[in-house]
A and B are shown apart, each in its own frame.
Chain A
C-alpha cells in the first residue's frame, strides 16, 4: 500500500544540537496522526521538515509517493496551520484565504469558488470582509484552517492549532477538526502537547521524546500498553502510579507486599530476579465494595482527597509508596479514613527498572 507521508531515516541538527535522530514514520492515506510529546522534543521541527520550511540534515521525505526532500513548501501538496494563526494582518479574511491562490495566478472564478467552499465549511462567511484584528481567537483559527483548506491539498499539518484558545473553545474546535477530517478524509498530522486532544483526535499517536519516536500506536494501545516508562508517565491524568520493586518468578515484591502477576502478558520473558516498576493507572484501582472483586486487595488510609466534580482523586500509600486512585464522586472519602482498595495486576504494566522498557 502506498503511504501518504513517509519519512525515512530523517535527522536534523541545529549546529551541534541534534534535534531529530534518524526518525522513521509511515502515515497511511487519510490517517489522522498526532505527534505528542513534552515541550522541546522536536514536534514542530519535524512538522517544519515535512512542510519544507527547514532543510533536513539527512534522510528523505515522501509525500504521495513522491520524494519531496528538496522541494519547495508550495510544491509539496501540504497546507499548514500555525499555533499563532499567522494571518496576514493587513489583508481581509477573504484575501487571507485567497493569498496562496493569487500567488499561484489561479483564475478568478476558481478562487472565488474555493474561498466560498472553505468559508462555508468553516462557517466564516459573515467574516470574509473583516481584518484579522477584528476577529476572536476561535474565528482567527478557523480562518487559518481555511487558508490550508482552499489549497485543496492532500496533507494538512497542524502545529498546536488550539493551544492559544480557552478550554471551552478548544473542545469545540477539537470536535470541528474531527468533523472536518471525517468530511475531507485528508491525511492530517497534528502536533499538540495536550493529551486529551491526542486521544480524542488520533487514529494513531506518535509519542516523541528528545527527537525520537517512543511509541507509534492507536490511542487504546498507547493508553493500555505503553512501551516504556516515559510513555506510561506521559499519558494519563493523573499519571500512572509507579511502584518500585523486584520481579521474583511471576510475583512482584515490594517492601512487605507481594503482588501476584498471574494473567499479565509479558512481552519479554523475565529472567531470574530483576528490579522492576509496576505501573497501575489510577482509574484501574477500585475502592470499597468493588475492590473486593479484585485479584489484589489491600487496606490503607486515605491521605488527601481532591474532588474533581465528575470523580474524586485520592492519595494513599501501598508498601510505603504513594498511590493515587480515581473514585466515583458518590463514594464518600475523607482523609484518615481506612479503606480497602484493589486492582487487577494484569491490567497494569511492568517495566524493567534499569532500561525503562515494558516487560
Chain B
C-alpha cells in the first residue's frame, strides 16, 4: 500500500474542512524501514562493545568456555580492579593508574596551551593583517599535510638540545606544535566569518589588540572553542606515537601503558583484564563526546552558517 493511500484514508474524515492545525505524524512503511535499518546498524556497531563489556565482567574459566556474547554467569569486577591497580606493564605492576594520571596531566596542559596560542594566531591572522601574514598562514596550513613521522627525528634532536626531551613540558610542546595547523585554521576561519565592522567599531571605541581580543572576540568564540577543546582532548588522549617517543618513562600516557598491558608476553593472556583496561582507556573520549555532543554540533553549525 502506498503512503498516499494511507494518508487519504486517514484524512478522509476531515476532508470537508480540509487540513488544519498541526500535521498528524503517520507511521508509513518507508519510515518503518528507515527505523529498522537504523536499529540494525546501531546493533552492529554496538556488538564489539557488548563483547568487551561482558568479557571484562567474566572470570578466565568462563571465558575459556567460549560463549562470546553471553552475559557472565558469575559476575566479577576483579578484572577491572586489576586493570586499574595491579596489571603488569613490563616490570612494574601498578595497572593503568599511573598512565591515567599521566594522560590527565598531558591533556590538561596541552589542550589549553595549544588552544590559547591557536586562538591568538587565528585572531591576528584574520584581523591584523600585515605583510606576509597570508604567507605565514599558508605555511601553517601546509604543516597540516606534513606526515608526523617525517619530523619526529629532527624534533627529538631539537628537544634534547634544549633539555626538554622525555619530559612533561616536552610532550606538551610537541602536542602544541602538531595541533597548531588545524587549530589555527579552525580559529582563522571562525574569525574571518565574523563581520569586520565589529572589529572596526571596537577600534573606533579605542580598544587595542588585546582589548578587542579579550573583550569582544573571546566571548564570541565560545562555540568554536568547544569544538577545539573536544578535538584536542580526544586527539591528545588517544595519541600513542608522540607519547611513546617524547613523554619519557615517567610520563607514559595511558594509551602506551594499555599497549604494554595488552601485549605483555609473560604468563597467560588475561582477556578480561585487557578488555577492562581498553574500556577504561577509551572512557574519557567517550564521556567527552557524550557530554559535549550537543555543543559540538552547535559549534560546528555556528561556523558553517556564518562561514
Contacts and interface: CB of A to CB of B under 8 A. Distances in A.
Given A80-B200, A86-B195, A104 B220 contact: no
Given A83-B197, A86-B201, 15 more contacts: A48-B200, A51-B204, A53-B204, A72-B203, A72-B206, A73-B206, A82-B201, A84-B195, A84-B197, A86-B197, A88-B215, A100-B204, A100-B205, A103-B205, A103-B215
B219 interface: yes
A223 interface: no
A104 B205 CA distance: 8
In this complex, the member of B200, B203, B204, B207 whose beta carbon has the largest number of chain A beta carbons within 10 angstroms is B204
A99 B205 CA distance: 7
Interface of A: 48, 51, 53, 72-74, 78-80, 82-90, 99-100, 103-104, 147, 151
B205 to A, nearest CB: 3
B18 to A, nearest CB: 34
Q: Looking at chain B, what size class is its interface with the partner chain?
A: 10 to 19
B198 interface: yes
A224 to B, nearest CB: 36
B206 A100 contact: yes
B286 to A, nearest CB: 32
B205 A74 contact: yes
Contacts of B293: none
A90 B220 CA distance: 7
A8 to B, nearest CB: 22
Contacts of A51: 200, 204
A260 B206 CA distance: 61
B10 interface: no
Contacts of A90: 219-220
B216 to A, nearest CB: 6
Interface of B: 195, 197-198, 200-207, 211, 215-216, 219-220
B204 A73 contact: yes
Given A80-B200, A82-B200, A84-B197, A89 B220 contact: yes
Contact of A80 (B198, B204, B207): B204
A68 to B, nearest CB: 13
Given A86-B195, A90-B220, A80 B206 contact: no
A74 B204 contact: yes
A53 B211 CA distance: 16
B201 A103 contact: no
Contacts of B205: 74, 99-100, 103, 147, 151
B220 A74 contact: no
Contacts of B197: 82-86
A90 B198 CA distance: 12
Contacts of B220: 89-90
A103 B200 contact: no
23 contacts: A48-B200, A51-B204, A72-B206, A73-B203, A73-B204, A73-B206, A84-B195, A84-B197, A86-B195, A86-B197, A87-B201, A88-B198, A88-B202, A88-B216, A99-B202, A99-B205, A99-B215, A100-B205, A100-B206, A103-B207, A103-B215, A147-B201, A147-B205
A100 B216 CA distance: 12
A99 B216 CA distance: 10
A147 B216 CA distance: 15
Contact of A103 (B198, B206, B219): B206
B103 to A, nearest CB: 34
B206 A78 contact: no
A72 B206 CA distance: 8
Nearest to A157: B204
B139 to A, nearest CB: 21
A80 B199 CA distance: 12
A86 B211 contact: no
A89 B219 CA distance: 9
Contacts of A84: 195, 197
